[in-house]
């Protein structure tokens, strides 16, 4: 009961926040967006004209011009071009949320489509794959290391974790990617330098999957190596402060093993805060992750954005930014739901 | 606990942290270097950096000179100074000659021969005669050279002369020659095997003869045997010295890092601190505002915004800060909530102390040390964000950035070619610039963080 | 009466920047089977440290510097940690804490935690057993499904006592079990402890700074000051005719029905890292003599009674 109310509240708050964030984006890119829509209207109109000429060879030039003009006006009308700003805003936002992102200037989806939504859809899964696997790895390994460090407070591991965290906070993950490529791909020649599969990809499901894993290794590892230290440090701090609480002493007095105290009682109690920290970590590491894609030519949204920047393909930049916003919101939202499960005060309706 | 005493306590405790003090020392060194760079760099130097043609005289994609100490034979550039011009003319035109010698003891050829003629008047022809230790010579003729222009193995007239020499030695017809073939010819053992032979060691001579119109006055020419290694950090593929770029990138990194961090932390801490302090519906509204920004993918947003905002140091720092303050707001709100639960805050309310006064006396004094620690800790993040954007090609015009250098490195496949210096040094500089802030930040954080009671 | 628990010459020290803190010195203590024994003293006198030492839960860098603790004849300080954990903690000796308010792990239900402690020590557990325990401390069965934050302070304390009795231990160390409870709940908890002793025959070492509370429950009393036992004896005698000037001061500071005239003991407890030669109480003692400054008085007496004071 408490949890249902919590979910309802969070959902409302996140939906509104997403609207607000996209509005912010909208205002920030307003002039570009108008240009982009006009450009795609021109594109669509010439497409329409070609079809018209093919389908109705008998039309006169004047008739043709008037048909095309009507079509273009209707196209722009759908984006509220002849309307006052609030209507225009509403129409264009609605278009964004329906994934009517227009067509790109140059970039094509693998199937040849120039629809931004199709392009983004083609690149999106790779980003989700790399980013979620990376995040899960960071949270799992960083969390365990942090807990172990907290257990031996003052010990060797406990002294190493802050050092690793310090070094990690000053290294860009994509740059580490560079170094890995130079070393593992070109110097040792043991792993591919980039991309998501060999060209041509090996035949058969299993070899293809192994090939894919080989390509995933370096980007994943460079994302992991730069992010787990900070997370281990945060987990350690949270665990150490939790271990100072009375219930830990009483748990020991109850005759529990250290492992049970640490991995059941301390971890479980600190887990809501750890989830909160994971949420912040996810928000913070997305930027690094998408740039890591660039270095490894991993065909995800980051790589797509980089290509779009190079080619000045504005529709693609806007589209991928919009999708990234939605992804980040989903990630944080899932984090909140997990938090709700972990904190009993939410279940009982006390928070 | 009166505040100034507490502050002095913080300082003493900070000074006890060895890493913190080390960070502080490094920080001072960084800022001093940066100040030096700012004082000695003019805008024209930045423009020169951004013009690849200005660096033609340098070896391209050359490793640092010190690789020679590690068993690599990578000759450095030899600048030749032509001796006095002797006037050969007797009457109508102007004819001058000059020459210079150098000794070559490397096992590999140089990477290029470069000549920049400088003269007043008009030159009809310039002959560069390259004489090897065994006495054979290669003549490269340039007709109507332009004063101040750059002539090297890639110029067609040089190619022509060298191709003739190769043909004469090997007896084979040469349709086109590459620069490595040219330098192999200039340094190799004469004969059939010229292009695959070992390098001749000994004294080489470069002689220049110019023939021009009356009134010709040659002055100091730049003649260089371009090496295979350069400076402390090598060069990029257009010959720009990486060490120069790395040094020139320091002020910008420190500026964007410090400015962004101060704005974001102060803004975030005030927002979050106030939110926790006010509580209730105002807190909920402000926390929601934090969520909106937290959940916007900053980097992608900045890329999108950069098409509508002219990027300067200030605008870029403000945009980055405007999208990264929520983390600080969230932590500050937690701190604020814990202060709020203290009895003296309730006492204030009971005594009718104004809200503003309570906020400034109890909350701001507690939040200030946290702010200082955050600022130091987060500078590295802002440096990295700035460089990341530059790496993606989003940076103000007229600045030299490490991210920009790395962008060029990936565009020219530095990793593929094994040009490690081009990738290594700018990246290491990002770490060097970030690390001291992180060290100081961690030390401060440990000092000001609410400690676990030892019981 | 044979002693269930017997501490002999127990000393607990921990290093600090100011020098070694002597939290407890030369402590002799006995708890008989089925007995309620009080251990009283001002806060900071070393009572809690002593209990933690006997439970082998001293927070580092604290350590037992000397002495032994015999439980049923076994020195529980010298056996291996794993054996102590398995055979003694909670199974033979359990504890009710000063902070039992926060003694339950906040994210598990009360029932789950009682069940857990039973299972890790190889008992059956289960809803029926938990219900029986909760009813024993006058709580409703439904409490088992509640989270700690849903309970009141008194309910939490009762639930914790139920958990302390879950494995039918022979001894419960009750460290300030009533602090932070209101007066009526305090009395209820004390009555509960007395009743449980009667029903289960468990021995209880009741540690508190509250003499009024102890006088209701304990048969025998130890008084600690600055880490040492300064007086011991049957509680009615000790409270009626206190011998040690510290006990006298403490008794005078306790409000009773007859006299509302409360007098505190002037001065403060000495720094346990810088104890001098003489009696630790002499700076505050109204009857201090020359010898008190020079030499520390030993605890002397016959049978269960004794006092450490030069006056006797």
Residue A327 falls within a domain, yes or no?
A: yes
Kindly state whether residues A92 and A124 are assigned to the same domain.
no
**pLDDT band at B1, cuts 50/70/90?**
very low
Determine the structural domain holding residue A84 and report its residue range: 2-97
C97 and chain A: CB distance < 8 Å anywhere? yes
Q: Which residues of C touch A268 (CB under 8 A)?
A: 105, 107-108
Instruction: Please report the pLDDT score of residue C112 as a whole number.
Output: 93
User: Shortest CA distance to B187 belongs to which of B168, B207, B165?
Assistant: B165
- Nearest-5° angle of CA C128, CA C133, CA C137? 140
- As a whole number of angstroms, the distance between CA C312 and CA C309 comes to 6
Of the residues A97, A132, A153, the one at which a domain ends: A97
**pLDDT band at B455, cuts 50/70/90?**
very low
Kindly state whether residues A71 and A125 are assigned to the same domain.
no
Kindly state whether residues A283 and A343 are assigned to the same domain.
yes
Contact C147 A348 (CB under 8 A): yes
| Helices (H) then strands (E): counts for chain A | 14, 0
**In total, how many domains does chain A have?**
2
Residue A329 falls within a domain, yes or no?
A: yes
SS3 B128: strand
> How do the domains of chain B map onto residue ranges?
3-40+242-454, 78-226
Please say whether the beta carbons of A246 and A266 come within 8 A. no
- Cα distances (Å, whole numbers) of residue B75 to A65, B60, B63, B185, C221: 69, 13, 10, 17, 92
**pLDDT band at B7, cuts 50/70/90?**
low
Q: Which residues of A touch C55 (CB under 8 A)?
A: 253
| Top-level class of domain B3-40+242-454 | mainly alpha
The parts of chain A modelled with pLDDT lower than 70 are: 1, 349-351
Instruction: Please report the pLDDT score of residue B383 as a whole number.
Output: 93
Kindly state whether residues A240 and A151 are assigned to the same domain.
yes
Residue A107 falls within a domain, yes or no?
A: no
For residue C99, the distance in angstroms to the closest alpha carbon of chain A comes to: 6
Residues of chain A whose beta carbon is less than 8 angstroms from a beta carbon of chain C are: 245-247, 249-257, 260, 265, 268-269, 271, 342-345, 347-348, 350
Contact B410 A294 (CB under 8 A): yes
Instruction: Please report the pLDDT score of residue B251 as a whole number.
Output: 92
- DSSP code string of A20-53: HHHHHHHHHTHHHHHHHHHHHHHHHHHHHHHHHH
* Residue of A247, A260, A270, A275 to mutate, testing the C interface (most C Cβ within 10 Å of its Cβ): A247
| Topology given in CATH for the domain delimited by B78-226 | Jelly Rolls (2.60.120)
Residue of B nearest to A13 (CA): B288
What CATH number should be reported for the domain holding residue A250? 1.10.3720.10
Handedness of CA C157, C160, C164, C165 (dihedral sign): positive
Contact A269 C106 (CB under 8 A): yes
Strand C203-208: give its sheet, edge to edge.
C93-96, C171-175, C203-208, C36-40, C220-225, C228-234, C306-307
**pLDDT band at B322, cuts 50/70/90?**
very high
Each residue's pLDDT tens digit, B237-282:
888 999 989 999 999 999 999 999 999 999 999 999 999 888 889 9
Kindly state whether residues A149 and A248 are assigned to the same domain.
yes
For residue A86, the distance in angstroms to the closest alpha carbon of chain B comes to: 21
- Cα distances (Å, whole numbers) of residue A303 to A25, A138, A328, C230: 20, 22, 17, 78
The parts of chain C modelled with pLDDT lower than 70 are: 1-2, 99-100, 255-264
Express as a percent the part of chain B with pLDDT over 90. 24
Residue of C nearest to A349 (CA): C150
- Cα distances (Å, whole numbers) of residue A88 to A30, A94, A98: 11, 10, 15
Contact B415 A178 (CB under 8 A): yes
Instruction: Please report the pLDDT score of residue C292 as a whole number.
Output: 84
Please say whether the beta carbons of A65 and A73 come within 8 A. no
Residue A102 falls within a domain, yes or no?
A: no
Instruction: Please report the pLDDT score of residue B317 as a whole number.
Output: 93
Task: Write down the residue that tokens 């025959």 correspond to.
Answer: C201
Task: Write down the residue that tokens 């006169």 correspond to.
Answer: A60
Instruction: Please report the pLDDT score of residue B320 as a whole number.
Output: 92
Instruction: Please report the pLDDT score of residue B451 as a whole number.
Output: 39
Kindly state whether residues A183 and A309 are assigned to the same domain.
yes
Q: Which two tokens stand for residue C280?
A: 């630790």
Radius of gyration of chain A, Cα coordinates, nearest whole angstrom: 26
Mutual angle of helices B242-278 and B280-294, in 10-degree steps: 160
Kindly state whether residues A88 and A132 are assigned to the same domain.
no
Q: Which two tokens stand for residue B184?
A: 């192999």
Instruction: Please report the pLDDT score of residue B4 as a whole number.
Output: 52
Kindly state whether residues A62 and A136 are assigned to the same domain.
no
Residue A186 falls within a domain, yes or no?
A: yes
Kindly state whether residues A6 and A80 are assigned to the same domain.
yes
Each residue's pLDDT tens digit, A243-290:
888 889 899 999 898 889 988 899 888 888 888 888 777 777 888 888
Please say whether the beta carbons of B223 and B206 come within 8 A. yes
Kindly state whether residues A83 and A130 are assigned to the same domain.
no
Residue A104 falls within a domain, yes or no?
A: no
- Cα distances (Å, whole numbers) of residue C109 to A57, A341, A348, C130, C143: 79, 14, 11, 12, 9
Kindly state whether residues A90 and A147 are assigned to the same domain.
no
Q: Which residues of B touch A28 (CB under 8 A)?
A: 301, 304-305, 308
Q: Max Cα separation, chain B?
A: 108
For residue A155, the distance in angstroms to the closest alpha carbon of chain C comes to: 13
- DSSP code string of B342-407: SHHHHHHHHTT--HHHHIIIIIIHHHHHHHHHHHHHHHHHHHHHHHHHHHTT---TT---HHHHHH
**pLDDT band at B5, cuts 50/70/90?**
low
Kindly state whether residues A129 and A37 are assigned to the same domain.
no
What ipTM was estimated for this complex? 0.85
Residue of B nearest to A280 (CA): B327
User: Shortest CA distance to C33 belongs to which of C235, C203, C219?
Assistant: C203
DSSP class of B241: B
E strand or H helix at C20: strand C19-32
Contact A350 C149 (CB under 8 A): yes
A32 and chain B: CB distance < 8 Å anywhere? yes
Q: Which residues of A touch B301 (CB under 8 A)?
A: 24-25, 28, 321, 325
- As a whole number of angstroms, the distance between CA B101 and CA B82 comes to 8
The mean pLDDT value of chain A amounts to: 86
Q: Flag whether pLDDT at B429 surpasses 90.
A: yes
| Helices (H) then strands (E): counts for chain C | 10, 11
The mean pLDDT value of chain B amounts to: 85
Mode of pairing for the β-strands spanning B202-212 and B94-104: antiparallel
Contact B297 A29 (CB under 8 A): no
| Helices (H) then strands (E): counts for chain B | 16, 10
Instruction: Please report the pLDDT score of residue B106 as a whole number.
Output: 87
């Amino acid at each position: 009961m408490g949890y249902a109310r919590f979910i309802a509240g969070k959902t409302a708050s996140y939906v509104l926040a997403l609207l607000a964030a996209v509005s912010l984006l909208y205002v920030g890119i307003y002039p570009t967006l108008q240009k982009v829509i006009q450009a795609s209207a021109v594109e669509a109109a010439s497409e329409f004209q070609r079809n018209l000429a093919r389908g109705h060879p008998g039309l006169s030039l004047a008739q043709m011009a008037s048909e095309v003009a009507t079509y273009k006006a209707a196209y722009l009308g759908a984006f509220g071009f002849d309307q006052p700003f609030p209507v225009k805003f509403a129409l264009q936002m609605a278009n964004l949320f329906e994934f009517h992102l227009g067509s790109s200037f140059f970039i094509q989806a693998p199937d040849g489509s120039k629809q931004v939504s199709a392009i983004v859809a083609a690149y999106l899964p790779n980003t989700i794959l790399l980013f979620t696997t990376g995040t899960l790895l960071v949270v799992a390994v960083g969390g365990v290391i942090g807990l172990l460090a907290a257990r031996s407070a003052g010990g060797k591991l406990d002294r190493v974790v802050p050092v690793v965290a310090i070094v990690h906070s000053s290294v860009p993950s994509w740059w580490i990617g560079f170094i890995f490529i130079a070393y593992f791909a070109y110097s040792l020649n043991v792993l591919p330098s980039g991309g998501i599969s060999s060209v041509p990809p090996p035949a058969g499901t299993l070899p293809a999957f192994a090939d894919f894993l080989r390509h995933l290794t370096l980007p994943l590892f460079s994302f992991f190596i730069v992010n787990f230290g900070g997370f281990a440090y945060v987990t350690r701090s949270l665990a150490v402060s939790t271990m100072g609480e009375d219930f830990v002493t009483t748990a020991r007095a109850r005759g529990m093993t250290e492992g049970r105290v640490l991995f059941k009682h301390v971890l479980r109690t600190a887990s809501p805060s750890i989830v909160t920290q994971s949420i912040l970590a996810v928000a913070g590491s997305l930027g690094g992750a998408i740039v890591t894609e660039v270095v490894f030519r991993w065909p995800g949204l980051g790589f797509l954005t980089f290509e779009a920047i190079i080619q000045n393909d504005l529709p693609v930049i806007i589209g991928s930014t919009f999708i990234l916003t939605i992804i980040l919101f989903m990630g944080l939202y899932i984090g909140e739901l997990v938090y709700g499960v972990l904190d009993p005060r939410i279940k009982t309706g006390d928070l | 606990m009166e505040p100034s005493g507490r502050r002095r306590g913080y300082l003493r405790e900070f000074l006890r942290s060895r890493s913190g003090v080390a960070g502080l020392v490094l920080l001072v060194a960084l800022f001093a270097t940066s100040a030096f760079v700012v004082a000695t760099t003019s805008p024209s130097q930045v423009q020169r950096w951004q013009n690849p043609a200005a660096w033609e005289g340098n070896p391209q994609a050359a490793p640092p000179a010190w690789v020679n100490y590690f068993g690599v034979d990578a000759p450095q550039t030899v600048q030749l100074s032509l001796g006095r011009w002797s006037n050969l003319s007797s009457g109508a035109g102007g004819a001058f000659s000059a020459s210079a010698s150098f000794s070559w003891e490397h096992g590999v050829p140089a990477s290029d021969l470069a000549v920049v003629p400088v003269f007043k008047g008009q030159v009809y022809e310039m002959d560069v005669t390259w004489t090897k230790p065994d006495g054979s010579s290669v003549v490269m003729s340039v007709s109507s050279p332009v004063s101040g222009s750059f002539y090297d193995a890639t110029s067609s007239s040089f190619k022509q002369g060298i191709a003739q020499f190769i043909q004469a030695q090997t007896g084979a017809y040469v349709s086109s020659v590459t620069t490595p073939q040219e330098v192999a010819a200039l340094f190799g053992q004469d004969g059939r095997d010229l292009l695959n032979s070992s390098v001749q060691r000994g004294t080489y001579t470069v002689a220049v003869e110019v023939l021009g119109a009356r009134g010709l006055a040659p002055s100091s020419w730049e003649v260089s045997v371009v090496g295979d290694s350069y400076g402390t950090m090598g060069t990029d593929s257009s010959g720009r010295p990486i060490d120069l770029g790395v040094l020139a990138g320091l002020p910008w990194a420190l500026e964007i890092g410090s400015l962004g961090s101060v704005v974001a932390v102060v803004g975030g801490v005030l927002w979050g601190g106030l939110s926790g302090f006010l509580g209730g519906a105002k807190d909920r509204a402000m926390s929601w505002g934090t969520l909106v920004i937290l959940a916007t993918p900053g980097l992608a947003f900045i890329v999108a915004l950069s098409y509508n905002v002219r990027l300067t140091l200030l605008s870029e720092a403000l945009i980055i800060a405007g999208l990264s303050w929520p983390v600080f707001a969230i932590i500050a709100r937690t701190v604020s909530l814990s202060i709020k639960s203290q009895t003296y805050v309730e006492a204030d309310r009971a005594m009718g102390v104004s809200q503003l006064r309570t906020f400034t006396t109890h909350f701001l004094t507690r939040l200030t040390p946290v702010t200082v620690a955050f600022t130091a800790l987060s500078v590295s993040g802002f440096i990295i964000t700035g460089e990341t954007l530059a790496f993606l090609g989003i940076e103000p015009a007229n600045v030299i950035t490490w991210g920009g250098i790395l962008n060029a490195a990936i565009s020219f496949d530095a990793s593929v070619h094994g040009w490690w210096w081009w990738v290594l040094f700018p990246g290491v500089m990002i770490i060097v610039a970030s690390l001291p802030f992180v060290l100081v930040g961690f030390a401060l954080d440990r000092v000001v963080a609410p400690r676990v009671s030892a019981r | 009466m044979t002693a269930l628990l017997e501490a002999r010459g127990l000393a607990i020290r921990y290093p600090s920047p100011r020098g070694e803190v002597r939290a407890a010195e030369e402590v002799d203590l006995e708890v008989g089977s089925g007995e309620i024994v009080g251990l009283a003293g001002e806060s900071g006198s070393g009572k809690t440290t002593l209990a933690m030492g006997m439970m082998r839960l001293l927070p580092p860098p604290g350590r037992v510097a000397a002495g032994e603790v015999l439980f049923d004849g076994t020195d529980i300080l010298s056996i291996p940690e794993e054996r102590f954990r398995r055979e003694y903690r909670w199974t033979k000796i359990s504890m009710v804490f000063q902070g039992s308010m926060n003694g339950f792990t906040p994210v598990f239900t009360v029932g789950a935690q009682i069940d857990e402690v039973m299972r890790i020590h190889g008992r059956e557990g289960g809803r029926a057993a938990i219900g029986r325990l909760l009813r024993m401390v006058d709580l409703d069965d439904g409490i088992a499904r509640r989270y700690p934050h849903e309970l009141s302070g008194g309910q939490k304390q009762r639930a914790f006592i139920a958990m302390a009795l879950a494995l039918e231990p022979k001894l419960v160390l009750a460290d300030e079990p009533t602090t932070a409870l209101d007066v009526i709940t305090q009395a209820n908890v004390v009555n509960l402890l007395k009743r449980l002793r009667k029903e289960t025959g468990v021995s209880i070492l009741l540690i508190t700074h509250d003499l009024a509370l102890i006088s209701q429950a304990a048969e025998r009393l130890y008084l600690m000051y600055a880490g040492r036992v300064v007086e011991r004896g049957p509680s009615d005698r000790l409270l009626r005719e206190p011998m040690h000037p510290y006990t006298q001061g403490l008794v005078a500071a306790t409000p009773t029905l007859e006299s509302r005239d409360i007098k505190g003991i002037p001065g403060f407890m000495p720094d346990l890292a810088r104890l001098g030669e003489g009696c630790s109480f002499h700076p505050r003692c109204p009857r201090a003599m020359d010898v008190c400054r020079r030499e520390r008085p030993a605890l002397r007496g016959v049978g269960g009674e004794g006092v450490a004071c030069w006056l006797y």
